[in-house]
Structure 1
Amino acid sequence: MTELQEHRFWLNAKEILRDRLSLTEDKADDDVIDERIRGDIHMKGANLWILMFAILVASVGLNVNSTAVIIGAMLISPLMGPIMGIGYGAGINDFSLINRAFKNLAIATLIGLLTSTLYFLISPLDTAQSELLARTTPTAWDVLIGLFGGLAGIVGVTRKEKSNVIPGVAIATALMPPLCTAGFGLATGHWSYFFGAFYLYTINFVFIALSAFIIVRAFNVTEKKYVDPDLAKRAQRYIVAIAIITMLPSSYLAYQLVGEEVFKGKVTAFVNDQLNFPNTNVAQVKIDAKTHKIKVFLIGDHVPQSELDNIASRMANAGLDKALLKVYQNGERDDVDISTLKTDIVADLYQNSQERLDIKEKEIANLKNKLRLMNNNIDYFSSVPDELQTLFPKVKRSILSQSYDPKAADQNLSTTQLILNLDVKGRLSKKEQEQIKEWLKKRTKNNNVELFYD
């Protein structure tokens, strides 16, 4: 390839990429975008009632641990409107829009907390299920979900034709469940649940708004023009201050979360690799990423302390040189909550037993079904021979039996195959054979029939 050809190739490649990745081709007019976003920030009337109903639906879903119900609540939630309004207002330097959007988001948040708290105060179910617990410990991945989800959302909003992006973003970023979980924490007095869930909610709306700000700036959407230059400068300073105040804590906490997740990943890999013994199992691992303390609970044969010390000496090679490892064996006591450990072990045993019971129940159900089919067919075996001799005079004697046909399922036939053996006078024509088979299929309501005759 010559230099000129290579140059043309790269020009064509750039043109193709520019065409494929262009966000301006189907972008709506600035006025349409402005009207669309401003129209969704209000939190009153129908929007407020929809929010309360969505909060109640999500609270019920968390209470009964139903993922489908929680997803449904996220689809009908109007929370995305004011959040997008904050990012959009910052992007076009419209301080009054930011102020209104913040007020509406604050009202929505307060109403959401009050509604969910009231529900959980009334609900007789006060156990924290897995769907609820999943919203109490934010991770670095929640930051990325909020950022990328927000980017998808604002790109969808700025298109000429409305798409289903916003409902998808509402599900992915999960604004409703953490707000309801915070209400559960208030109602039950679990402050760690409240702060953890509310922090997750904060991460989501901050990074969604930040994404909207980035895209609006990238699109060069028409900025608000102020008559008073001083007012314009003051508004810009306020916007910058709000952006910095919002971003700095979130960025710092995001940095902390990344560090904690990396630490937990290293600990998990180290425990799986190093604390792997033939007759001793790891029952539980407790990781405190903030203090770098690791507690491992073993059950089974006792592992000598010298071997455990040797394992601990390898922690530096795994990037855990600042971590403190403490191993407890077979109910050893220290500052450990033994009741929690026993509960976890019993829960694991129960889960394994439950899985085995489920398998047995399926086998029993299968056998019952086969028995039911056999019982249903009993009258066929006694009545069919007499009926055959009446309907088909050539039949002197007949025997009806059944067997299991493993190939029948592939042919959409019944796996129970009926076999009819006939003793006839003379020979049966093909037409007579087909007539007998068709009659037997209708009589027994089984299309899997075989016919033999002497």
Structure 2
Amino acid sequence: MNAPDTQPPPPSLRAAIAHRFSLHDDKADDAEIDRAIRAGVELQGATLWILMLAILIASVGLNTNSTAVIIGAMLVSPLMGPIVGFGYGIGILDFALIRRALANLGIAATISLGTSTLYFLVTPLAEAQSELLARTTPSLWDVLIALAGGLAGIIGQTRREKSNVIPGVAIATALMPPLCTAGYGLANANWSVFGGAFYLFSINCVFIAFAAVIVIDFLRLPHRKFIDPVKERRVKRALLAVVLLTALPSIWLAARLVDNEVFGSRAREFVRKEFNAATVHVLETRVAPGTHDIEVTLIGTPLAGTAIKAIGQKLASAGLANARLFVHQGEVPHVESQKIDVGSLKADILADIVRNNQDALQDKDATIEALRRQVAAQQGWVAQAGAVTREFEAQYPQCGDVLVGKAAQDGADGAAPVPFLSATCRRMPRADEVKRINAWLKVRSGMSDARVVLVAGRPQTVRRPAPGP
């Protein structure tokens, strides 16, 4: 008889999924995790120099609006170590580690602010670029990025096989740029920029540390026990309060950002729908979500005031109940608008630009044609020069060193070059012959100011006539 089948039954679906997503299978030893995180907390010696250089690189990138330079600075930055160490210390209830991590983070933040402030005080590029301004209005999405990045970072640090998770987290959470932007705010005494940027840095720090606490607690790493359980609950409540207090302003900012985006989208859709007449073209649309103003600049046949008023009455039905519509067009200003009507001015400016461009093109065409004629004349004279030389040498074999060309007249700036023929003669032609040579050269060159220059002497080269038969 066959032996009975002793293979274990296949695992259940739940067990298979749990095994697939397990964080315990490739976890490093507890002692190795503890040693690696504690080593990353300290910032001293070469690490501080690297931090200052990374801050300088990030400041230059923000100042010149270079995304690649900013990413490079985030890869160099050692700021993640104290933040993860702070969260790890809370997770294992090691208050000595917490104090050490906070001290190092404070030193790093102070050095970073000082370096970036000094750079923005001396740089000649004072205008705030888009990369700078993007770090001044944190929202709920920055909280989600910091939390997700922190979770990915601490999970990567607790693995046996280290990967490129930490550099990726440094780029995603963007710890360096907010500190540099805060330095820009200090250098320019712009406290709203400083406050927004430093708040974004605080969000990143708090939620990266909070993510570390969550993962450390989930992995059940060894931690110290409180003798008083009431004190332990009090510490955990304080941590939760800090997290909530950090997140609440970002939630409000996110809600405002969403409202502004919705208002802008509705306003532009309203303008496209209502100002679609064949004789009217929308030149520009400006939407100000803060004041709920919608400015439209039109070109084409002016709309009547009653038509504009009728369009304004449709704002409420389009979800823009509190909005104000301002229409700028030629000669028919909106009755509600107290602003300067720039519609006709823009149309005139566009017409002037087109007209000036056409005039410039005509001038360029005329210049090109004149240069083309000059080149053609020059090429024609060069082609004739060889024939003129041969004809002169045939008539006056006693002359040599013949040169035929064009030369500028002395003291005649801007005048056309004068054709000339020069030669050195052993025996100078008679005066009447010289006069005849001059007349011949003027006819031959087609220019009345052509000149002949003959010099007595022994020519170095003389064209000899070919011997007879």
Residue in 1 aligned with 2:325? Answer: 327
Q: Kindly indicate whether the alpha-carbon contact (under 8 Å) linking 1:182 and 1:194 is maintained by their aligned counterparts in 2.
A: yes
Paired residue secondary structure (2:23):
coil
Give the aligned residue type for 1:328.
F
Give the aligned residue type for 1:48.
L
Verify: 1:309 aligned to 2:312, yes or no. yes
**5 Å matches for 1:163-174?**
163-174=163-174
Paired residue secondary structure (1:314):
helix
Residue in 1 aligned with 2:297? Answer: 299
Q: Structure 1: which 5+ residue stretches go unaligned?
A: 1-7, 354-454
Structure number with greater Rg is 2
Residue in 2 aligned with 1:286? Answer: 288
Q: Kindly indicate whether the alpha-carbon contact (under 8 Å) linking 1:286 and 1:296 is maintained by their aligned counterparts in 2.
A: yes
Q: Distance in 2 between matches of 1:81 and 1:335?
A: 57
Q: Kindly indicate whether the alpha-carbon contact (under 8 Å) linking 2:143 and 2:247 is maintained by their aligned counterparts in 1.
A: no
Verify: 1:23 aligned to 2:19, yes or no. no
Q: Kindly indicate whether the alpha-carbon contact (under 8 Å) linking 2:295 and 2:325 is maintained by their aligned counterparts in 1.
A: yes
Residue in 2 aligned with 1:409? Answer: none
- Of 276-285 and 211-220, deviating more is 276-285
Verify: 1:125 aligned to 2:122, yes or no. no
- Number of matched pairs: 322
Q: Kindly indicate whether the alpha-carbon contact (under 8 Å) linking 2:140 and 2:253 is maintained by their aligned counterparts in 1.
A: yes
Offset, 1:295: 2.0
Verify: 1:76 aligned to 2:101, yes or no. no
Residue in 2 aligned with 1:273? Answer: 269
Q: Kindly indicate whether the alpha-carbon contact (under 8 Å) linking 1:83 and 1:209 is maintained by their aligned counterparts in 2.
A: yes
Q: Structure 2: which 5+ residue stretches go unaligned?
A: 1-8, 355-469
Q: Distance in 1 between matches of 2:97 and 2:339?
A: 52
Residue in 2 aligned with 1:381? Answer: none
Offset, 1:236: 5.7
**5 Å matches for 1:405-444?**
none
User: Which residue among 230, 237, 240 is the counterpart of 2:237?
Assistant: 240
Q: Kindly indicate whether the alpha-carbon contact (under 8 Å) linking 2:292 and 2:324 is maintained by their aligned counterparts in 1.
A: yes
Residue in 2 aligned with 1:211? Answer: 211
Residue in 1 aligned with 2:367? Answer: none
Deviation sequence 1:203-225 (CA, Å, 0-9, x none): 11111111111111111111124
Q: Distance in 1 between matches of 2:337 and 2:80?
A: 45
Q: Distance in 2 between matches of 1:233 and 1:184?
A: 44
Q: Kindly indicate whether the alpha-carbon contact (under 8 Å) linking 1:93 and 1:239 is maintained by their aligned counterparts in 2.
A: no
Deviation sequence 1:269-323 (CA, Å, 0-9, x none): 31132221222255322222xxxx42222111566443343332125xx4x66xx
Offset, 1:31: 1.2
Deviation sequence 1:344-366 (CA, Å, 0-9, x none): x9xxx9xxx9xxxxxxxxxxxxx
Q: Distance in 2 between matches of 1:307 and 1:47?
A: 67
Offset, 1:265: 3.0
Q: Distance in 2 between matches of 1:305 and 1:272?
A: 16
**5 Å matches for 1:141-220?**
141-220=141-220
Offset, 1:188: 1.3
Distance change (3 Å), C-alpha of 1:202 and 1:307: farther
User: Which residue among 238, 256, 266 is the counterpart of 2:252?
Assistant: 256
Offset, 1:256: 0.8
Q: Distance in 2 between matches of 1:236 and 1:47?
A: 36
Offset, 1:164: 1.0
Residue in 2 aligned with 1:112? Answer: 112
**5 Å matches for 1:299-378?**
299-301=297-299, 304-315=307-318, 318=319, 324-330=322-328
Offset, 1:172: 0.6
Paired residue secondary structure (1:253):
helix
Q: Distance in 1 between matches of 2:27 and 2:201?
A: 30
Q: Distance in 1 between matches of 2:104 and 2:311?
A: 57
Q: Distance in 2 between matches of 1:71 and 1:240?
A: 36
Q: Kindly indicate whether the alpha-carbon contact (under 8 Å) linking 1:93 and 1:236 is maintained by their aligned counterparts in 2.
A: no
Deviation sequence 1:384-436 (CA, Å, 0-9, x none): xxxxxxxxxxxxxxxxxxxxxxxxxxxxxxxxxxxxxxxxxxxxxxxxxxxxx
Paired residue secondary structure (1:329):
strand
Q: Distance in 1 between matches of 2:204 and 2:176?
A: 10
Deviation sequence 1:222-271 (CA, Å, 0-9, x none): 11246xx25x8646634532x13421222211321331132123213311
Q: TM-score, normalised by structure 2?
A: 0.63
Give the aligned residue type for 1:23.
L
Give the aligned residue type for 1:155.
I
Q: Kindly indicate whether the alpha-carbon contact (under 8 Å) linking 2:75 and 2:167 is maintained by their aligned counterparts in 1.
A: yes
Residue in 1 aligned with 2:361? Answer: none
Q: Kindly indicate whether the alpha-carbon contact (under 8 Å) linking 1:94 and 1:235 is maintained by their aligned counterparts in 2.
A: no
Q: Kindly indicate whether the alpha-carbon contact (under 8 Å) linking 1:282 and 1:296 is maintained by their aligned counterparts in 2.
A: no
Q: Distance in 2 between matches of 1:152 and 1:46?
A: 27
Give the aligned residue type for 2:57.
V
Give the aligned residue type for 1:167.
P
Distance change (3 Å), C-alpha of 1:337 and 1:101: farther
Distance change (3 Å), C-alpha of 1:208 and 1:306: same
Q: Kindly indicate whether the alpha-carbon contact (under 8 Å) linking 2:139 and 2:251 is maintained by their aligned counterparts in 1.
A: no
Q: Distance in 1 between matches of 2:149 and 2:193?
A: 24
State percent identity of aligned pairs. Answer: 48
Distance change (3 Å), C-alpha of 1:66 and 1:150: same
